[in-house]
A and B are shown apart, each in its own frame.
Chain A
């Protein structure tokens, strides 16, 4: 069993639930209190991919709709990016796609997955199913909920599989 580590960055607009997703994935906890992230918050978790143990070092970068100079430094050395959008805020999906474009200009062929969060609030979603159907042809897309855990492990497992290759 190989044992190695990879750096993964979470990118997305503020308030989409990046820190909550990390808390759900790493500690299996959830708080509905919104607490903004300053700079970056680093966590890690070991996952198993095809008999290999991969340590994901997760950089939860403060939410913005574009990467400023400070946030660009955090991307150094990253193998993959997890884009996060809020299903109840359609513009957050556009922000996530813009952030992906910026990340691709700074990193060489980063692995990427898209998490569209807050599926527990499905009745308030502004993103159409067809939009995600189309997006899914370009990258893995997961509808998720940090509140009840839907889609969270699957998304992190997917990025782990990609960066382990």
Chain B
């Protein structure tokens, strides 16, 4: 038996400990009726009208537990915020619950534990960052590219801006396509549709140039090699520019030779170069003609745009490739970005750009681009499809998941035209449920949606064992975005504005695989 303390010390110690522990002893019968409460009732909320609720809280803590033996719980944070050490002491027909304040102990332990956990989490992040850096270094060595972390935020901003531009343009071009097919072919209607297409084309060119300019010199150094079909590209350009040339009274020819082997290139950039050069030629050719061509000679993709326009004076030739050079040419009407963007894109693709011009007679632009990949095999199953996409009637069931009502309805209309029975969902969660319920042949899923993202929904579907074909649709044309969607489980990836023919091919490939 230990020696008792002097009475004054004993009293002091009891006072100090009681002050610190705020002890409360609840005596309770077998039906959890409170027989007595002794100690710091106020601290634990055992006062007046709160007593029942406080007792219920304590009772809940012993749910499912054998009350005939002593029990104890350390460091229990109660719903009301107090931290307690709890002890249950059986005593014949009744029992006692002892509550001791654990706040001090808890805070001390929390401080140490918080530091330890944060250090470990930081360690995990650090390891992750080191691995990422190693991966980036490896990519840099392999691809000889330079990525700057400072551009990440800017790129994210540009991706958002890109989405804001391309989503409405998708609606405009998509519905315009439908109107051109369905409306009467009288002169007035055709004139109106041409005016809409001219305006939309101008807006598309302008927005793509602004986006490219905004990305900066290093923002888009990664190329996106896919199979390019010069003939198809020429047809797209004819559809885009023929009405404009007719309005201006110009002769326009855009030619391309079929390529016997798959040609791998960055289609978006090639298209943007041609759009800018042809648009520029039409703008500065008051009368006469514009001739454009895309040719593959086995080693080089040669782009040529020749006009009989006003030409460029020798002293202005060094200026026209600088941004915002709208005043550089007589009668200029554009934003002055087109040719600077062309030069940047050609540089990015390690190509060459030549200019010959005679003032008053015309201008000739020559762009030579080396291929970006093997010309022996295509990596893009969509591009391998040939034939007239308009003639395909595919059929089956489809699900369209997009938060933008206009895009949703556009895609639905296109799919219906292809013979599909179409269901729609306006967000990723609804789409996730619908896909599991309906098991459509093809699901078209927008990537950027509020709440659950399209990629997250695709991942969740695949994690459920969903085997249906999924096509992701996004305004982001970067390789990273494409890879993220494919990693999440998509079968293919399409960008906005929707290229109708490419869309049809993708749906056909998906439907065939589904079948």
CB distance from A158 to the nearest CB of B (A): 15
B62 and A38 contact, CB distance less than 8 A: no
The 0/1 profile, CB within 8 Å of B marked 1, for residues 5-43 of chain A is 111000000110000000000000000001111111111
Complex Cα distance A70/B73, Å?
Answer: 8
A62 to chain B, nearest CB (A): 8
B121 at the interface (CB under 8 A from A): yes
B75 contacts across to A, CB distance below 8 A: 38-40, 70
Whole-angstrom distance between the alpha carbons of A36 and B112 in the complex?
Answer: 10
CA distance A59 to B70 in the complex (A): 20
Across the interface, name the chain B residue whose C-beta is closest to A40: B76
CB < 8 Å neighbour of B64 from A34, A78, A122:
A78
Fill in one digit per residue for A65-106: 1 if any B CB lies within 8 Å of its CB, else 0.
000001001101111000000000100000000000000000
Chain A residue nearest in CB terms to B452: A150
A14 to B451, CA, bound (A): 25
Check if A34 sits within 8 Å of B118, measured CB to CB.
yes
Residues of B within 8 A of A78 (CB): 64
Interface residue count on the A side (C-beta < 8 Å): 43
Contact B63 A6 (CB under 8 A): yes
Taking CB atoms and an 8 Å cut-off, the chain B residues in 98-131 that contact chain A are 102, 106, 109-110, 113-114, 117-118, 120-121, 124
Interface pair A36/B113, CB less than 8 Å apart: yes
Does the CB pair A34–B106 fall under 8 Å? no
CA distance A79 to B77 in the complex (A): 20
> In the bound complex, how far is the Cα of B121 from the Cα of A35, in angstroms?
12
A113 CA to B106 CA in the complex, in Å? 29
Contact A119 B77 (CB under 8 A): no
**Is the CB of B484 closer than 8 A to any CB of chain A?**
yes
State whether A77 touches B456 (Cβ < 8 A).
no
Q: Is there an interface contact between B72 and A73, defined as CB atoms closer than 8 Å?
A: yes
Instruction: Pick the contact of B79: A39, A43, A79, A150 (CB < 8 A).
Output: A43
Complex: A22 Cα to B368 Cα, angstroms? 61
One of B176-184, B235-243, B460-468 at the interface: B460-468
A39 touches B77 (CB 8 A): yes
Smallest Cβ distance from B381 to chain A, in angstroms? 21
The answer to whether A38 and B113 touch across the interface, beta carbons within 8 angstroms, is yes
CB contact between A77 and one of B62, B102, B117, B120 (< 8 Å): that residue? B62
How long is the Cα–Cα vector from A125 to B143 in the complex, in angstroms?
25
Interface check B413, CB cutoff 8 A = no
Give min CB distance, B463 to chain A, whole Å. Answer: 4
A38, B111: Cα distance in complex, Å:
10
* B114 & A150 in contact (Cβ 8 Å cutoff): no
Asked if A3 is at the interface (CB within 8 A of a chain B CB), the reply is: no
* Cross-chain contact A133 with B106 (CB below 8 angstroms): no
Contact between chains at B73 and A40 (CB < 8 Å): yes
Contact across chains for B117 and A14 when beta carbons are under 8 A apart: yes
Supposing A38-B110, A122-B456 touch, asked if A133 and B77 sit within 8 A by C-beta, the answer is no
Known contacts A38-B83, A143-B463; decide if A15 and B62 are in contact (CB<8 Å).
no
Q: How far is the CA of A78 from the CA of B109 in the complex (A)?
A: 25
Question: Residue-by-residue, is B47-84 near A (CB-CB < 8 Å gives 1, otherwise 0)?
Answer: 00000000001001111110000011111111100010
User: What CA separation (Å) do A79 and B65 show in the bound complex?
Assistant: 11
> Which residues on the A side are within 8 Å of B102 (C-beta)?
39
Are B114 and A36 within 8 A (Cβ)? yes
A148 to chain B: which residues have CB within 8 Å? 451-452
- In the bound complex, do residue A15 and residue B65 qualify as a contact, i.e. CB atoms below 8 Å apart? no
- Kindly state whether residue B280 has any CB partner on chain A within 8 Å: no
User: Looking at the complex, which one of A40, A76, A123, A133 makes contact with B484 (CB distance below 8 Å)?
Assistant: A123
Asked whether, in the complex, the Cβ of A41 is within 8 Å of the Cβ of B113, the reply is no
Q: Determine if B453 is an interface residue (Cβ-Cβ < 8 Å).
A: yes
Shortest Cβ gap from A95 to chain B (Å): 13
Tell me if B79 and A42 are in contact (CB < 8 A). yes
Measured CB to CB, the closest approach of chain A to B459, in angstroms, equals: 6
CB–CB B124/A89 < 8 A: yes
Q: Mark A96-136, 1 if CB is under 8 A from B, else 0.
A: 00000000000000000000000110110100011011001
Task: Determine whether the beta carbon of B451 is less than 8 Å from that of A132.
Answer: no
CA distance A87 to B81 in the complex (A): 30
Q: Is A57 on the interface with B (CB-CB < 8 A)? A: yes
Identify 9 residue pairs between A and B in the complex whose beta-carbon atoms are under 8 Å apart, listed by A's number. A36-B114, A38-B106, A39-B102, A40-B73, A122-B455, A122-B456, A123-B455, A133-B464, A148-B452
Given contacts A39-B76, A74-B73, 5 further A-B contacts (CB under 8 A): A34-B118, A77-B63, A143-B459, A143-B460, A150-B452
